Each structure stands twice: as C-alpha cells, then as structure tokens.
Amino acid sequence: MSKRPVNLSERPKGKHDNEARMIRRFIKKMKKYRILDQYREKLYFEKPSQKKRLAEKRRQKVLDKLKAEEKRYMEADFDKLPSPKKKRKTRR
C-alpha cells in the first residue's frame, strides 16, 4: 500500500474496443492498486487495538485452514488413489 497517489486511466486499445471492455480493465486496475479498499479503510477510524484483534483473527483463520488441510492429507489413504495418467505428446 503506497502513499503516493495513483492516477488511473483507460484508453481504447484498438478501433473496435468497446466501453464495456474498457470499464472491465479499469475495474481490474482499481482492484490491483487496492484503491477502493484503501478508501473504505480510511472512511472510519479504527482503534489500533481493534486492528490488532482483527489481524490476529485473520491469522488464526489461515492457521486453522492449514491445520485442517494437513489433517486431511495425513488421513488420506494413498493406496486407494488412482495412479496419475501419463500425458501424451500432441502435435500443434
């Protein structure tokens, strides 16, 4: 998250480029630079203790997911899994 202002603009790429496609590209750029997220974060004041608490909750959620995935992996019976198929070479 940078402190510098980001100026976004979107121009047609070709003579057949329509407005809907340009709007989609513009929205993708906004998501990439997290412009709306930053705006929403600064809209209301959030106490530092609340920020820490939410960050800890997010961390714990990620850890719980990883533990569940590891448990599923450890309980998996690899003898019953189908063998991987060999990829065939294709001509192009």
For helices 35-43 and 19-32, give the axis angle rounded to 10 degrees. Answer: 60
The string of DSSP codes covering 50-61 is HHHHHHHHHHHH
For residues 60-73, average pLDDT: 94
Q: How many CB atoms lie within 10 A of CB 83?
A: 5
Q: Is-above-0.85 flag for pTM? A: no
CA triple 45-51-52, angle to 5 deg: 155
Taking the C-alpha atoms of residue 56 and residue 39, their distance in angstroms, rounded to an integer, is 22
pLDDT bracket for residue 82 (50, 70, 90): low
Question: Over the stretch 45-55, which tens digit does the pLDDT of each residue have?
Answer: 999 999 999 99
